[in-house]
Amino acid sequence: MRHLISILDLSKEEIDQLIDTANDIIEFPEKYAEICKGKKLATLFFEPSTRTRLSFEAAMYELGGNVLGFSEAGSSSTAKGESVSDTIKVVSGYADVIVMRHPKEGAPLVASMKTSKPIINAGDGGHNHPTQTLADLITIKREKGHFEGLTIGLCGDLKFGRTVHSLVEALSRYENVHFVMISPNELRMPDYVKQDILKHGNVTFEETTDLEAVLGKLDILYMTRVQRERFFNEADYIRLKDSYILTPKKLELAKEDMRILHPLPRVNEISVAVDDDPRASYFRQTLYGKYIRMALILMLMGVSL
């Protein structure tokens, strides 16, 4: 019985296997259409979501299974004071696999200790978002062909943006990956990521506030939204929210084969005029996210063809 709490719960070989399965699902969806018949997936979302929740639900339906759950804490008995532990114990009797998003860091880990069903972390506070990382990895693999040797720009809110923390953890395991971290000083990558993951793993990185100065050397530009919900002070959010806005003019500085990723939702940080650029991969990324989540459900439930 497996959980997915951190992307490091998966080996590189398992990530390759998930990408291979997702690619097979993309090519031969009919083979998988009934594979989870009679199985149920619960989506427990204590925080808002569009892509993660709906892609998991679509994933389970496309595998022939069923879905139950809630999309906000206020419509569950959490509003009456029920603990996460009690909620998980109860839902474990109703579902075969549980997907959970929670504003508190570590909540999915606590949940995993209270159940015999697989728990999938769909985002815990500013900490981790491993299934977004799987969506990011399959996108990079499909669009660039490999991970090794890539120069990856991470731009925006690197302090609170949980997707970049998980992505750095995942990509640091590949040879000769170089990170360029582009953020305002107040939103720099946390020290634990730089010390424990990058320096500990001898992964090279640089930090800058200037996107245009580094754009020309990037193979991947991973844009992120400034995370309003994690700020204590609205004035700070207003001051920082438009620090970076990617436009067609700025993209003239980028390589022709660079790819632009974004976990979405987008606010202002990528101009809609960029969407028609062939380098814009972020909507394809949302679709690949559904297929890799299908592969993950199969892996954690131990289901094979």
- Residue nearer to ligand CP on the CB measure, 49 or 172: 49
d(Cα 178, Cα 103) in Å, to the nearest integer?
A: 30
- Residue nearer to ligand CP on the CB measure, 117 or 290: 290
Min CB(266)–ligand CP separation in Å: 10
Min CB(264)–ligand CP separation in Å: 5
d(Cα 305, Cα 259) in Å, to the nearest integer?
A: 33
Binding site for ligand CP (CB under 6 A): 49-52, 123, 132, 263-265
- Of 286, 284, 244, whose CA–CA distance to 263 is shortest? 286
Q: Which residues are within 8 A (CB) of 221 and not within 5 positions of it... i.e. 6 or more apart?
A: 153, 155, 215, 246, 254, 258, 259, 260, 261
Min CB(205)–ligand CP separation in Å: 23
> Using an 8 Å Cβ cutoff, are 81 and 55 in contact?
no
Min CB(152)–ligand CP separation in Å: 18
| Strand-pair partners of 220 | 152, 259
Min CB(192)–ligand CP separation in Å: 21
188: DSSP letter: P
Residue type, 75: S
- Residue nearer to ligand CP on the CB measure, 51 or 117: 51
- Residue nearer to ligand CP on the CB measure, 248 or 265: 265
- Of 295, 257, 297, whose CA–CA distance to 27 is shortest? 295
Phi, psi of 128 (to 5 degrees): -140, 155
- Residue nearer to ligand CP on the CB measure, 227 or 271: 227
d(Cα 126, Cα 128) in Å, to the nearest integer?
A: 7
Min CB(271)–ligand CP separation in Å: 19
Min CB(9)–ligand CP separation in Å: 18
Min CB(104)–ligand CP separation in Å: 16
Q: b/e for 97-111, b at 16 or more Cβ within 10 A?
A: bbbbbbeeeebbbbb
Chain center to CA of 97:
19
Cα 296–170–288 angle (5° rounding)? 45
- Residue nearer to ligand CP on the CB measure, 67 or 303: 67
Query: Cα–Cα distances in Å, from 165 out to 134, 201, 209, 272?
Result: 13, 15, 18, 26
- Residue nearer to ligand CP on the CB measure, 35 or 41: 41
- Residue nearer to ligand CP on the CB measure, 151 or 281: 281
